A and B are shown apart, each in its own frame.
Chain A
Amino acid sequence: MIRIPASYLGNRIVTLVLTIFIAATLIWIIPRLSPVDPAEIALGRMAAGAGTVGNSEEILAQLRSRLGIDQPWIVQYVRYLWGVVQFDFGLSTANFPTPVSALIANALPWTLGLMLISITITFFIGNLLGALMVWEHSPKLVKVAIPAAMVLTSIPPILSALLLMWIFSAKLQLFPLTGAYGLTVEPGWTWDFVQSVLYHGFLPALSIVVVTFGFWALGMRGLMIGVQGEDYTTLAKAKGLRPRYILYRYMIRNAILPQITAFALKIGMLIAGQVLVERIFAYNGMGKLLYDAILDQDFPVIQGVSFVIILMTALSVFIVDLIYPLIDPRIRHGK
């Protein structure tokens, strides 16, 4: 149905692979430039737990070989890249024998779920509001939303998260302060659990939606002004179609297209912002995992989380680029 020219596809795949490769390499090189020795950190943690540690030299050597840092750099690097391809980031030093990939596998669904919900809501509300700002039949009240939307877009989600948390959790005590589900609820596919998850996820999602919908609204407003003046809109009106039908099928349908490209460019910032929101709400996702790993100086986890998030970003941009002709039949790749 859609034909993607091989040259364009090849070009995009090269960029994708290069992105992943450079990110993986940066993440690998940086900690090795620092004087910190992960084996000593692990030993220090043991010593803190047990009081004293005998024959520490042997344990250090053991740990180094277990973590693979007694090998030459080039061997470590090749092993690391091979591991990354298989989503194997080694073992966590804070929860020692647990593989990093298991920790990430636990945290990732939370982050993905929260992200999917908040991004869908913000994209929907923002674009609808932006369209209504231009539509001549919309209520006067919508026009007031313009300055509000503008001001809110400039604020990062961490700040809105703090404010919402204070108002709704600390002051009004309507929503829980931290966590992704209640302490008394058993995780599983039960109604209680789902309810608890939705209840806990409401504020984190809201704090992202509140500050991001304006971006889409303003973009949509600019695009709708262009579509409003097009001949096909005038023709549709002249034919006597219902205004609502014209709005959805003629105006929004055409104006939404560049918004989807903007979505791809914005996704990296959205994910990074959400990681911070998760940290503030102590939400069980990648943000909390990353924050705990920073506190424990758990480098394999920090590397793994960073890499997975960068991979998610790069893949989303790649996918949006490729499916674009599906939603806009006028676009042909490679031209």
Chain B
Amino acid sequence: MTTHNTAGVAKPDLTARQIRRMKRFDNPWRNPKLIWGAGLMLGIVTLGILGRLFWNTDLVFTGSAPLKLPPIGFENLRGQSGQAGFPLGTDGAGRDLLALIVIGAPNSLFVGLLASVIGMSIGIFLGFSAGFLGGRKDDTIRILSDVMITIPPLLILVVFQAAFGDVSLTLMAILIAAFMWQSPTRLIRAQVLSMRESGYVQMARLSGASTMHIMFREMMPNLVPYLFGSFIANVTTAIVTAVGLEVLGLGPQRIPTLGRIIYEAINSGALIQNLWWWWGLPTILLGLMFIGLLLINLGLDEVSNPRLRKL
């Protein structure tokens, strides 16, 4: 995979640019979409890490800064201009937006990742069981995933969080994960069903390998690209669900998350007061997060499916 076959590629009728691109695609992981997407996500994570190191995170507390200050270079309706101490401005409760974002953005990402990891693990287990064991177990799992896939998670979670009030970030992730296993289960089940009769699985079975060995050592490695794609798609869905709950005023009440910042901004009439930085910055950050995840997913598609790659 890493050795570059440069001799056969250089044809006289190709431009230098096309030759370069051909060489680059010799290694499928050096995919521009994948790199850009991963770069975006890394940037957001770095913002969280560096921000915690170099920025005063005590500014997330209410009243730690002047109210409704605009970012540097802008003016708010009261004619105040931005101050260097609060480069991205402050919200209506006197909290620094940079500090809020530094704390809040990794929180939103964390919920997405954790929910997706749990959902994936359940999905892998159920999908393999259904596809490999078959029979009544398969029927039960198939019907259950068919049923659960039509229920929008947001609405069940609204009922849950309205009943229980303040939930922790981890609990919210676990709750979302309860609705993230259906699509990986279906995907893996379908793949396992088609793989079950293939030569190498038959061979392993004849050699007396255990069910677990066949499932996880023989079949699983072939599914890795699918699993990755499904994982990233699930992270997006989990973050969208979490943000949805937060915008409805549910979810963790005391920890800053991007969705909660937006909720507070809307409730305080930030739109009419033209405090665009208050809701706008978390919105842009979430947008970048989703674009990053999409690019990673498209990149992974191209890595696992060479037909999608273009010159």
Contacts and interface: CB of A to CB of B under 8 A. Distances in A.
Interface in B253-297: 262, 266, 271-272, 274, 276, 279-280, 283, 286-287, 290-291, 293-294
A82 interface: no
B67 interface: no
Given A297-B162, A303-B159, A170 B152 contact: no
B151 interface: yes
B271 A302 contact: no
A158 interface: yes
Contacts of B271: 162, 165-166, 169-170, 177
Interface string B147-169: 11111111110111011110000
A313 B150 contact: yes
A280 B244 CA distance: 11
Contacts of B247: 158, 276, 279-280
B272 to A, nearest CB: 6
29 contacts: A14-B143, A19-B147, A22-B151, A26-B151, A30-B160, A31-B163, A36-B163, A150-B298, A154-B294, A156-B243, A158-B243, A158-B262, A166-B276, A177-B272, A268-B150, A269-B237, A272-B152, A273-B240, A275-B155, A291-B248, A294-B248, A299-B163, A305-B155, A306-B156, A306-B158, A309-B155, A310-B155, A313-B150, A317-B150
Interface string B224-235: 000000000000
A95 interface: no
A279 B152 contact: no
Contacts of B274: 170-171
Contacts of A313: 150-152
Nearest to B236: A154
B163 A272 contact: no
Interface string B161-200: 0111100000000000000000000000000000000000
Contacts, number: 135
A142 B280 CA distance: 30
Nearest to A14: B143
B75 interface: no
B58 interface: no
Chain B contact patch, size range: 35 or more
Interface of B: 143, 146-156, 158-160, 162-165, 236-237, 240, 243-244, 247-250, 262, 266, 271-272, 274, 276, 279-280, 283, 286-287, 290-291, 293-294, 298
Contacts of A34: 163-165
A146 to B, nearest CB: 12
Contacts of A303: 159
Given A18-B147, A272-B155, A276-B154, 19 more contacts: A14-B143, A15-B146, A30-B156, A30-B163, A34-B164, A151-B294, A154-B291, A154-B293, A158-B247, A162-B280, A170-B271, A268-B152, A273-B240, A280-B266, A294-B158, A295-B249, A302-B158, A306-B155, A309-B152
A217 interface: no
Given A154-B290, A317-B150, A30 B159 contact: yes
Contacts of B262: 158, 162
A276 B244 contact: yes
Contacts of B244: 156, 158, 272-273, 276
Contacts of B151: 19, 22-23, 26, 268, 310, 313-314
B248 A159 contact: no
| Residue of B163, B164, B165, B283 with highest tally of chain A CB at under 10 A | B163
A33 interface: yes
A36 to B, nearest CB: 6
Contacts of B149: 265
A180 interface: no
Contacts of A310: 150-152, 155
A276 B298 CA distance: 27
Contact of B158 (A14, A18, A290, A317): A290
A169 B155 CA distance: 29
A269 B152 contact: yes
Given A156-B244, A159-B287, A15 B143 contact: yes
A27 to B, nearest CB: 5
Of B152, B156, B247, B286, most buried by chain A (CB within 10 Å of CB) is B152
A290 B148 contact: no
Contact of B159 (A15, A170, A302): A302
B219 to A, nearest CB: 26
Contacts of A46: none
A187 B260 CA distance: 35
B190 to A, nearest CB: 14
A294 B152 contact: no
A233 interface: no
